[in-house]
């Protein structure tokens, strides 16, 4: 019988992007605030967002960061790296160039003490295999993010899964992102559009378009996604949205996936970390767009005890909620969900270290 999972609570600094860009908090202040508000113990950073000069990190920066982590009692869980295959204007990076681009990011994560490096879908199975010796050398796990509009059953993800199973290394895996698993278009996005004077008839049609393309568990091909993107952009233009049509198409077709929570189970043995993506918490304490309770219940039942970073992406349009408060409310929902499933969410730093070490040794 599988033991109940005890996922580890945490947060990514990406959730506080709006505050950071507004210079309300420095990175160090964000870390301290997250710790003071009990949003850890897990802490995740995006390398290029949070570290000046990344992926180059000085010995002084490494010492300062590790001292900050020790002082606040937080536990580094994941360093999010970028696989920017489109850096050049004239062509995409070759596989050789992309692997070379990733290497210093992996090395920086290891120096800073992060056990997991989030990588992105630009990397092919061959690229991941070529990066494996580097991951083994530094003893970090490379987790490819399964992010909307991708899908756990998408051919690209399945090809990676097949290669992982062939290689059999615990240094390769996935970072499931719950934004691939929505049940509704976020109400806060619709509220933003209404505040900006967008016609209610257009909003109704955008929601209808999202539901019409509910894939019922089957992933879209890239061609199907392209057609859907153009459809939504055309719909927006018909209703006078102008240049904002591109933004609407990106949101509706790119951020809000149709996968079912159960679809994550196939990838769970290879899940090295998770992004607890969410957009809003309503007055009742629920997340109306992402089935947080269902996902947490599945993790507990499956015995998964990895780290989850609460990742608030509502900041893209929501400038009225306090990011720290909304993350705290989301984490309260996760804790309640774990308790209802007969387990608990780990919030103590010492327990988190023990649980994550055990989870790593077993997977």
Q: Are residues 175 and 295 in the same domain?
A: yes
Number of independent structural domains in the chain: 2
- pLDDT tens-digit map of 148-175: 999 999 999 999 999 999 999 999 999 9
Q: Point out the domain boundary residue: 208, 228, 253.
A: 253
Can you give the residue range of the structural domain that contains 98?
8-183+256-362
Residue 150 lies in a domain: yes
**Catalytic-residue membership of 147:** yes
Q: Are residues 232 and 267 in the same domain?
A: no
pLDDT attached to residue 218: 67
Q: Are residues 177 and 226 in the same domain?
A: no
pLDDT attached to residue 219: 77
pLDDT attached to residue 2: 67
**Residues sharing a CB contact under 8 Å with residue 197, sequence separation 6 or more, in sequence order:** none
Q: Point out the domain boundary residue: 233, 253, 273.
A: 253
The CB-side HSE value for 321 (13 A sphere, CA atoms) comes to 27
Q: Are residues 42 and 69 in the same domain?
A: yes
Q: Provide the CATH number for the domain around residue 346.
A: 3.20.20.150
Q: DSSP secondary structure string, 299-337? A: HHHHT---EEEEEE-GGGT--SS-HHHHHHHHHHHHHHH
Of the residues 21, 25, 138, 147, only one is catalytic, namely 147
3-state secondary structure of 56: coil
Residue 116 lies in a domain: yes
Q: DSSP secondary structure string, 112-165? A: HT-SEEEE-TTS-HHHHHHHHHHHHHHT-EEEEEE-TT--TTSHHHHHHHHHHH
Instruction: Please tell me the least confidently modeled range out of 154-163, 206-215, 250-259.
Output: 206-215
Q: Are residues 223 and 301 in the same domain?
A: no
pTM, full prediction: 0.96
Q: Are residues 127 and 163 in the same domain?
A: yes
């Amino acid at each position: 019988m599988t033991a109940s999972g005890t996922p580890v609570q945490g947060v990514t600094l990406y959730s506080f992007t709006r505050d950071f860009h507004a210079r309300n908090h420095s990175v160090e202040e964000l870390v301290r605030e997250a710790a003071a508000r009990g949003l850890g113990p897990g802490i995740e950073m995006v390398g290029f967002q949070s570290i000046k000069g990344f992926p180059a990190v000085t010995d002084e920066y490494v010492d300062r960061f590790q001292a900050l982590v020790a002082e606040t009692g937080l536990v580094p869980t994941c360093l999010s790296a970028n696989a920017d295959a489109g850096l050049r204007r004239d062509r995409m990076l070759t596989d050789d160039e992309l692997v070379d681009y990733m290497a210093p990011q992996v090395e920086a994560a290891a120096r800073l003490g992060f056990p997991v490096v989030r990588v992105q879908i630009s990397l092919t199975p061959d690229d991941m295999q070529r990066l494996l010796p580097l991951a083994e050398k530094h003893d970090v796990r490379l987790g490819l993010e399964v992010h909307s509009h991708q899908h756990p059953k998408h051919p690209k993800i399945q090809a990676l899964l097949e290669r992982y199973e062939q290689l059999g290394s615990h240094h390769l895996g996935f970072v499931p992102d719950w934004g691939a698993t929505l049940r509704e278009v976020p109400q806060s996005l619709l509220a933003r559009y209404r505040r900006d004077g967008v016609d209610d008839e257009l909003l109704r049609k955008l929601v209808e378009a999202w539901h019409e393309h509910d894939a019922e568990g089957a992933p879209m091909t890239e061609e199907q996604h392209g057609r859907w993107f153009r459809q939504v952009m055309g719909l927006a233009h018909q209703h006078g949205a102008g240049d904002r049509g591109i933004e609407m198409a990106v949101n509706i077709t790119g951020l809000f996936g149709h996968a079912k929570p159960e679809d994550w189970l196939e990838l769970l043995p290879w899940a090295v970390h998770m992004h607890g993506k969410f957009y809003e918490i309503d007055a009742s304490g629920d997340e109306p767009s992402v089935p947080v309770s269902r996902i947490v219940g599945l993790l507990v039942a499956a015995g998964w005890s990895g780290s989850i970073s609460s990742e608030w992406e509502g900041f893209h349009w929501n400038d009225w909620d306090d990011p720290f408060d909304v993350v705290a409310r989301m984490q309260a929902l996760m804790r309640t969900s774990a308790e209802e499933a007969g387990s608990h969410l780990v919030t103590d730093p010492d327990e988190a270290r023990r649980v994550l070490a055990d989870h790593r040794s077993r997977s």
